[in-house]
Amino acid sequence: MSDIEIRTTGRAGRITLTRPHALNALSYDMCMAIDTAMRNWREDDAVDLIVLDAEGEKAFCAGGDIAELYETGTKGNYAYGQKFWRDEYRLNALIFEYPKPVISFLQGFTMGGGVGIGCHGSHRVVGESSRIAMPECSIGLIPDVGGSLMLALAPGRLGEFLGTTGFRMGPADAIFAGFADHFIPQSQWSDLIEILEASGNAELVAEHSETPPNGELAGALTDIDNHFSGETLGDILISLRNDGQEFADKTLEKITKNAPLSVACTIEMLHRLRGPSLTMRRALEMEYRFTHRAMEHGDFLEGIRAQIIDKDRNPNWQFSDMDVPLVAVSKMLQPLGADTLTFEED
């Protein structure tokens, strides 16, 4: 497949995304190729670890390939998108639960579906150019691909802030928020990968780790906690609107550009997930409740139209006044019954 290169080199299973012209956007076929390879390597004693990387300087993976989702969804075919998300989420769980080290090198943009394959392994490496984000609310989705797990585990109310604004984290912020583990200058990556291939020893990653340049989020956490501690979107908006400071104004501007239903559901989802019963599978099952309904009942198709297809950046969102009824949130997040996401292997 021209979009991805899968091979075994030395002691390492190697996966390289080779679609830099499209910012390595993840197609369904790419997901399934990764899934198949990782299931095979799981049982292969000759493979000690997995290395995930990507070609190009701009992005490890800027997200899922949503053009096909839009094309099928606008024709009333919601089943294709549902299958895409279902199988992608199963891959996300496979990576998170993998019994061997999974080492990812995340240059440039890592967003959406890129987070799903790049940020669930055991050793997540960022460099100078890394920018990690969950911007799904801007296209009428919610932070998915297991991103809700990391958002729910992030310090304080950082998860609500990142999920509703799509804030782009540099290397220090990504480590602080729990989306990455190690900062290693990108000039060292190719040599480190060769060492990993030859040795099969994932512990060598930590030996190359350095202190990243300063980030923004640690210093903003008090403001974030103050404004995002409310139970609902309405509570958060009231707090931001009544503040008058630069941080609140900028944050309010970002949130109010996004799909109100998505933002409200993101907040509710994180509140439901946060706690001792949180698991990756529970997070993915909760996410799938929304994405399964996103084309027919949410704003996903309108979000794609405005951002990707027509590029008018003027989406006609539901609840455009940001006053989202609780019943609308409940409907998007209610259990799916027979369509519930499961994780049985075929």
Task: With residue 105 as reference, give the H or E element that holds it.
Answer: strand 102-106
Strand-strand pairing, 59-61 and 109-111: parallel
**Is 163 labeled as catalytic in the residue annotation?**
no
DSSP for residue 212? P
Catalytic residue selected from 73, 113, 114, 121: 113
Report the length, in residues, of the chain.
346
DSSP for residue 58? S
153, exposed or middle or buried, with CB in 10 Å at 0-12, 13-18, 19+? Answer: middle
Question: What is residue 44's three-state secondary structure?
Answer: coil
In 74-199, which ranges are continuous DSSP H helix?
Answer: 79-96, 113-118, 147-153, 158-165, 171-177, 189-199
Please give, one letter per residue, the 3-state secondary structure of 304-333. HHHHHHCCCCCCCCCCCCCCCCHHHHHHHH
Catalytic residue selected from 35, 48, 65, 144: 144
Alpha carbons 223 and 208: distance in angstroms, whole number: 34
Contact 142, 148 (CB under 8 A): yes
Catalytic residue selected from 64, 73, 127, 159: 64
Catalytic residue selected from 35, 65, 88, 136: 136
Q: Residue 86: what residue type?
A: R
Alpha carbons 151 and 153: distance in angstroms, whole number: 5
Distances (CA, A) of 151 to 134, 183, 229, 277, 328: 9, 20, 14, 15, 22
- The two most distant CA atoms of the chain are separated, in Å, by 60
Task: With residue 60 as reference, give the H or E element that holds it.
Answer: strand 59-61
**Is 113 labeled as catalytic in the residue annotation?**
yes
**Is 244 labeled as catalytic in the residue annotation?**
no
**Is 170 labeled as catalytic in the residue annotation?**
no
Q: Residue 290: what residue type?
A: F
Question: What is residue 11's three-state secondary structure?
Answer: coil
Catalytic residues: 64, 113, 136, 144
